[in-house]
Amino acid sequence: MPDQTSPLVEIQTHIMWNRLISLVEEQAQTLVRAAFSPIVRESGDLSAGVFDVRGRMLAQAVTGTPGHVNSMAESVKFFIEEFPPSEMKPGDVYLTNDPWKGTGHLHDMVVVTPAFYKEKLVALFACTSHLIDIGGIGFGPDGNDVIEEGLYLPFLKLADAGELNQTLLSILRGNSRYPVEAEGDVLSLAACNDVGARRLFDMMDEFNLDTLDALGEHIISTSREAVLSEIRNLRKGTFKAEMRIDGYDKPIDLMAALTISDSGIDIDFAGTSGPSVKGINVPLTYTQAYATYGVRVLIAPEVPNNAGSLDVIRVSAPKDCILHAQRPAPVSSRHVVGQMLPDVVFGCLSQVPELHAPAEGTSCLWNLILENRATQINGAMEGYTRFSILAVQTGGAGARQTLDGLSATAFPSGVSGVSVEIIESISPLLFQRKELREGSCGAGKFRGGLGQIIEIRNREHIEFQIYAALDRIEHAPRGRMGGENGATGFIGLGSGQVMNGKGRQVVPAGDTLIIHTPGGAGYGSPAERSAAAIEADRRGGLVPTRD
């Protein structure tokens, strides 16, 4: 590249930077269109990005989740250790679902493709998505170790110099209850990387580039300095916070100490509860992903996410805690704990005078994993529809310093809910009720977002089961600066039975599954809420009407 000091060249460099962001978004949208799993097509539970030949992320797609993107940013470095760049060939495609070197559990497949331009390796494209079924006991927290949770694929070649690994695909199909969907999702990951590479080559032709080295260095150094500049304006010191959540069979305490210095931010989760016997443990890469995201939400959020803006935030956790699970710990439902970490980080950053952290929200997704596999095992499936559904559901987000919290919103994961119509079209399930949960928001100068009330039954009048991995049932989202707590969640049956927030459970034939997702907490004293806002809440049916 020419001399970077030229104003014209500087403008051109930023145009190319934006083009990288644009092309990886097209990469992600290709995955959305090609994927077989509804959670990818409808919810955007994925990530996509471009990396330099050293494994440093240069750009990420806007579509995607922090858990996927930020953990994938580390995962590509593990791929390079297994497949050195000097040994990569055009047409190679690599994959793994290693929870400790991927994105935290077996259901996520990470695929990496080297991009060769004029016979020279210039970049790596990576993507991740959630597979509907990976064998084992199913997508829930009931496993006693990761071996029970499904098929493990170490770092392998999906394609070798353009030749698909049919043995690998046969193993994948043979270990999934939905073999066509499993193979289709993996091939869609490879296809989206190919689209990203082609768009990169178009850009390199247009700007007469032979390498991304100079552009990559500019992106990383500029982003790192931009974030550091914001951090240096903050009060220095160590700020501590803690949060208690439900856990599987006993409460979990999440403890954090966040230190701000001129060199960046360090987050230490020492003191956090030990590992669980069930599958809610969190590999460190996933812990790092969501803790880092909590910082980036409040500090320099306008700086693009890449290796430079991420590496000034350093996250650690002791090996004897639930946030640094060691193999072979069960980790299938790692999101139920890991997605709480931005709220823990906000608890630390709320003590920094220059920042204004939001109140706590539902945080973890209330995924409804519903299927009738148990009935099939008992030999009673003839004439009935076999289904396995992951219905993404959401609660309320916490209020902010100057704004109400968002209702039925997936923060921090950012995924979209799967529509009722989609679920009902591919299963015999009927949603009898799905509406905002009146009064679930925490009061405050700015109120929290509302949760939902959901009622589901099986139209075929046979039992079905839920793999529950839900939290905030015993411990409510907490208010900030005098705001009130949000409502806790609930899971039960129409017949009156209260169900557990975690574990596989049966909904009997003819009964109804009832879900109340939590509400977000309030910010500031409720006495300071404006009369106009209170009246608007009442007219909208968001809060109970009082005489």
Q: How far apart are the first and last CA of the chain?
A: 71
Interatomic CA distance for residues 513 and 432, integer angstroms = 10
Tokens of 461: 């009048």
DSSP per position, 468-485: EE--SSSSPPPPBTTPPP
Residue 67 within a domain? yes
3-state secondary structure at position 503: strand
The pairing of strands 120-130 and 237-245 is unpaired
If one counts every other C-beta atom within 10 angstroms of the C-beta of residue 320, the result is 12
User: Do residues 215 and 364 both lie within one domain?
Assistant: no
Specify which residues 111 forms β-bridges with.
95, 127
Which residue among 223, 244, 261 closes a domain? 223
Task: Give the pLDDT score at 78.
Answer: 97
485: left (phi over 0), alpha (psi -120 to 50) or beta: beta
**What total number of domains does the chain contain?**
2
Tokens of 257: 């100490």
- Domain encompassing residue 398: 358-547
Tokens of 201: 């080559």
Contact 279, 143 (CB under 8 A): yes
Specify which residues 498 forms β-bridges with.
492
pTM comes to 0.94
Q: How far is CA 34 from CA 38, 94, 184, in A?
A: 11, 19, 8
Residues 6+ apart with CB under 8 A from 111: 93, 94, 95, 126, 127, 128, 158, 186, 189, 190, 193
For 302-313, give one letter per residue: b (16+ CB within 10 A) or e: ebbbbbbbbbbb
Residue 127 within a domain? yes
Helix extents (H) in 360-519? 373-377, 420-425
pLDDT in tens, 239-271: 999 999 999 999 999 999 999 999 999 999 999
Residue 260 within a domain? no
Convert 96-155 into a string of H (helix), E (strand) and C (coil): ECCCCCCCCCCCEEEEEEEEEECCEEEEEEEEEEECCCCCCCCCCCCCCCCCCCCCCCCC
Residue 238 within a domain? no
Which residue among 223, 255, 279 closes a domain? 223
Residue 265 within a domain? no
Residue 434 within a domain? yes
Q: What's the DSSP call for residue 347?
A: H
Convert 372-391 into a string of H (helix), E (strand) and C (coil): CHHHHHCCCCCCCCCCEEEE
Task: Give the pLDDT score at 4.
Answer: 55
Residue 281 within a domain? no
Contact 146, 326 (CB under 8 A): no
Residue 389 within a domain? yes
Task: Give the pLDDT score at 1.
Answer: 47
Tokens of 226: 């931009």
Specify which residues 436 forms β-bridges with.
452
DSSP per position, 177-229: SSHHHHHHHHHHHHHHHHHHHHHHHHHHHHTT-S-SHHHHHHHHHHHHHHHHH
Task: Give the pLDDT score at 9.
Answer: 81
Interatomic CA distance for residues 508 and 8, integer angstroms = 69
Which residue among 223, 239, 259 closes a domain? 223
Tokens of 390: 């992951």
φ/ψ of 298, rounded to 5, equals -100, -25
Amino acid at 194: D
Q: What is the pLDDT along the chain (547 residues), one digit of tens a residue?
A: 445 557 788 899 999 999 999 999 999 999 999 999 888 988 889 999 999 999 999 999 999 899 999 999 999 999 999 999 999 999 999 999 999 999 999 999 999 999 999 999 999 999 999 998 999 998 999 999 999 999 999 999 999 999 999 999 999 999 999 999 999 999 999 999 999 999 999 999 999 999 999 999 999 999 999 999 999 999 999 999 999 999 999 999 999 999 999 999 999 999 999 999 999 999 999 999 999 999 999 999 999 999 999 999 999 999 989 999 999 999 999 999 999 999 999 999 999 999 999 999 999 999 999 998 644 444 455 668 888 888 899 999 999 999 999 999 999 999 988 889 999 998 999 999 999 999 999 999 999 999 999 999 999 989 999 999 999 999 999 999 999 999 999 999 999 999 999 999 999 999 999 999 999 999 999 999 999 999 999 999 888 765 4
